[in-house]
Structure 1
Amino acid sequence: MSSTRGGGLPPRSSGGRGRSASDTPARRSTAASTGGSGGGGRRPAVKRKKSGAKRFWKAFAIVVILLLVGVGVYLGWVYQKSQLIGTAGEPEKPASTQPIAMAILGSDFREETGSNLTDVVMVAAMNPKTNTATVVSLPRDTRIELDGYKVRKVNAYYPAFLAQEKKGEGNAEEAIKRMLGKYFDIPLDYVTVVNFQSLKDIVDAVGGIDVDVTMDMCYKDTADGTDINLKAGPQKLDGKNALDYVRYRKTNCNPPTKPSDDFSRNQRQQQVIGAIMDKLQTFNAVTKSGSLIEAVADNTKTDLENKQIFNLVRTYWDIPRENISYPKLAGSWRSPFVYINDSELSAAKQALKDELAGKHQPAAPVEEQ
């Protein structure tokens, strides 16, 4: 990075290479003050001081180059990590330049139970041009009635599609993507299914999340090892407790704690997602993207391409929390289903369409119960 200009290499002297020690500073000063006329020789070159501004910009340029190299190496490393998840090939709609929509399912699969009910069912639309997203959560007991499909709770469709897949009747992920796309009246580009362990690992990978727990929660089940015991108030949750907070529905403890309906569960899911996003936007969390990808690799099924995962990480890791809208879906419970309010469902569908069209609808803050 050295230069011969503006304070780079020192100027060559006007004398010979064997300049004697008798050419003292005083003598050189005299020659300089008289214009060097005494001997008719050339005026000795005067050492120029480096410009403060030039030194600054030179140092700044070096820092910028190092940062660019560092970011390039880091993003390349994240891309290599992203090979652990997803499929090969080029994405038809790169998430870095085009809006995409994706179904996100949280399965209760655990080795202890073998169940695949989807306690979390979300559809997310994301737009890179506005750096915004809209996420709609369906209560797990939502009644779904669609042409060509058997009436079921929304959380029962994925297990049914898995059963069909085992019989050679299509792919379960493709089937749930088509069904939810038809329900919300938008084309879904991708589907991602994560199990309980993935949420625990993600929260632990970012060092825990800060959450204001809405109420006391207590529930125990020795059959599958469930042991939920949370107290209301602001606190830092590790992966296990974050999962307990999202899952909690009822109590069997003495004294009992207040039960939770599906609408409150959805609000807690959004609260936890927001807390995870907050942690992802810190520098330390960003440098751990590789460990985050590893955290979900063994617990995720997705049709996202490897390069699309990289696009998503690069494009949305710093999305402001206030840029994510959660349209409210309320309804009524009439056993065994939740019946979603028609007007709110229509509004949620429109919000997803607007997001894809670049017309993000800011949502009201989530009210904690």
Structure 2
Amino acid sequence: MNTSKGSLPPRSNGQQRNNRQQPRPAASTTTKKKKTKKRGFFARLIRLLLVLLIVAIIAALGYAGYLYWKFDKGGFGVDQPVQAGQSASEKPLTMLLLGTDNRPKHPSNLTDVIMVAALNPETKSATVVSLPRDTYVELSGYKKTKINAFYARFKSKEKTSGILAEDEMKTMMSKYLDIKVDYATVLDFQGFRDIVDEFGGVDVNISENMCYTDSVDGTDINLKQGPAQLNGEKALDYVRYRKSNCSPETKPSDDFDRNKRQNEVLNSLISQMQSLGGVLKIGKVLDAVDDNLQSDIENAQIKSMIATYWNISKENVKFVPVTGTWRSPYVYINDKELEAAKKSLQDQIAGTSSGDAAASADTP
């Protein structure tokens, strides 16, 4: 009677409570499994990335060690210690950069490229002054002649004078630019070709068609206007081009245009060198220039320079080409531009360099 009805709750109400309280084991278990699986996948991915990062760091350190070994064993610098307080990481340095017109079919010590660079470790910046090869130099104690003839003259007198041509050039250029030149580096044409080739070429924008041939030394310049990627041989043609003997004749180029193109190629090489692919090619580049580069930089100093300036920004490298007036067979330098170039180098050394000194420079 009433006992059974009172002891058992109504069927319909019990079903509603059961529906509300009944757990859903199947659905809950599935969700947990999915979350666990998801977390496991990302955890493994993170671990993998960490392992790859560690391997990359070890490889980078190993490669850096390899480069250091190359400088110790190769013929790139001088096997002497750097004096205390004189390393590239501690003080500004200046360097004379010479590119000689030396080729297998045309041996020569004439310098087609004359640049002086000043580097400052505090500002992580550099100034590069380039001078036309035909610059007329009138300097006390030296013969009045083209600037590109001095290295060859000093080289021919090394045995009698007992003074290295590189040291003579540093002394002369220090006097000419009113700064102390610390080091000299000489690279011949073959070395230039090899460097460009090892880095995979350089990207430039050719302003005019260029055509010139010379059967005596094997020169065959034939470059078309417009953007181009040049290999070592073509890049050398690009920076060397002066005049045309072709038909139709192409527009001639003076020393000032050549300096601009040298700066453009150097700028492109900086980009190539700082890329990941460029970093991995440094070893081959060193092998390539071994027989075509001379320098009086100590091996330990080279290491310090790499560590200090490897990641220098292109925006912090100022190119200051000095121009003048061409009156055959010389270029008579513009005195104001020369003074501005001197000040630009001096400011860089002092760490007070600003854009003003190089305002007239045509930076690529």
TM-score by length of 1: 0.81
Match of 1:89 in 2: 80
Letter of the 2:203 partner, please give it: D
Deviation, 1:309, is 1.9
What do the CA deviations read for 1:85-104 (whole angstroms, capped 9, x no partner)? Answer: 11102223211332100000
Moved more, 246-255 or 65-74: 65-74
Q: Secondary structure at the match of 1:129?
A: coil
Q: Secondary structure at the match of 2:142?
A: coil
2:248 pairs, out of 248, 255, 258, with 255
1:306 pairs, out of 278, 299, 304, with 299
The alpha-carbon distance between structure 1 residues 316 and 123, as it changes in their structure 2 partners (threshold 3 A), is: same
- Please list, as runs of the form range in 1=range in 2, the aligned pairs for 1:132-211 lying within 5 A after superposition: 132-211=125-204
Residue 112, structure 1, aligned to residue 112, structure 2: no
Tell me if the contact between 1:267 and 1:366 (Cα under 8 Å) persists in the aligned partners.
no
| Mapped partners of 2:201, 2:173: distance in 1 | 32
Match of 1:128 in 2: 121
How many residues were matched structurally?
Answer: 320
| Mapped partners of 2:245, 2:78: distance in 1 | 43
Letter of the 2:270 partner, please give it: M
Residue 78, structure 1, aligned to residue 97, structure 2: no
| Mapped partners of 2:106, 2:359: distance in 1 | 38
Letter of the 1:280 partner, please give it: M
Tell me if the contact between 1:280 and 1:318 (Cα under 8 Å) persists in the aligned partners.
no
Deviation, 1:343, is 1.0
1:361 pairs, out of 350, 354, 359, with 354
Deviation, 1:318, is 2.2
- Please list, as runs of the form range in 1=range in 2, the aligned pairs for 1:318-337 lying within 5 A after superposition: 318-337=311-330
Deviation, 1:137, is 0.4
1:222 pairs, out of 215, 218, 222, with 215
Letter of the 1:89 partner, please give it: Q
Tell me if the contact between 1:325 and 1:361 (Cα under 8 Å) persists in the aligned partners.
no
Moved more, 233-242 or 310-319: 310-319
Q: Secondary structure at the match of 1:203?
A: helix
What do the CA deviations read for 1:235-255 (whole angstroms, capped 9, x no partner)? Answer: 110000000000000111111
| Mapped partners of 2:121, 2:251: distance in 1 | 41
Letter of the 1:282 partner, please give it: S
Q: Secondary structure at the match of 2:228?
A: strand
What do the CA deviations read for 1:68-116 (whole angstroms, capped 9, x no partner)? Answer: 4333211110111223111102223211332100000000012322211
- For structure 1, the 5+ residue unaligned runs are 1-49
Letter of the 1:86 partner, please give it: G
Letter of the 1:159 partner, please give it: A
| Mapped partners of 2:208, 2:58: distance in 1 | 48
Q: Secondary structure at the match of 2:294?
A: strand
- For structure 2, the 5+ residue unaligned runs are 1-38
Letter of the 1:202 partner, please give it: I
Q: Secondary structure at the match of 1:361?
A: coil
Residue 237, structure 1, aligned to residue 269, structure 2: no
| Mapped partners of 1:260, 1:157: distance in 2 | 23
| Mapped partners of 2:346, 2:363: distance in 1 | 27
Q: Secondary structure at the match of 1:260?
A: coil
2:335 pairs, out of 336, 342, 367, with 342
What do the CA deviations read for 1:261-292 (whole angstroms, capped 9, x no partner)? Answer: 00000000000000111111110111111111
| Mapped partners of 1:300, 1:160: distance in 2 | 19
| Mapped partners of 2:41, 2:92: distance in 1 | 47
Letter of the 2:331 partner, please give it: V
Q: Secondary structure at the match of 1:343?
A: helix
| Mapped partners of 1:274, 1:116: distance in 2 | 25
Deviation, 1:312, is 2.2
| Mapped partners of 1:129, 1:156: distance in 2 | 36
Tell me if the contact between 2:256 and 2:321 (Cα under 8 Å) persists in the aligned partners.
no
Tell me if the contact between 2:118 and 2:345 (Cα under 8 Å) persists in the aligned partners.
yes
Q: Percent identity?
A: 47
| Higher percent of residues as helix | 2
| Mapped partners of 1:307, 1:52: distance in 2 | 47
Deviation, 1:52, is 11
2:283 pairs, out of 290, 297, 301, with 290
Letter of the 1:145 partner, please give it: E
Deviation, 1:66, is 4.1
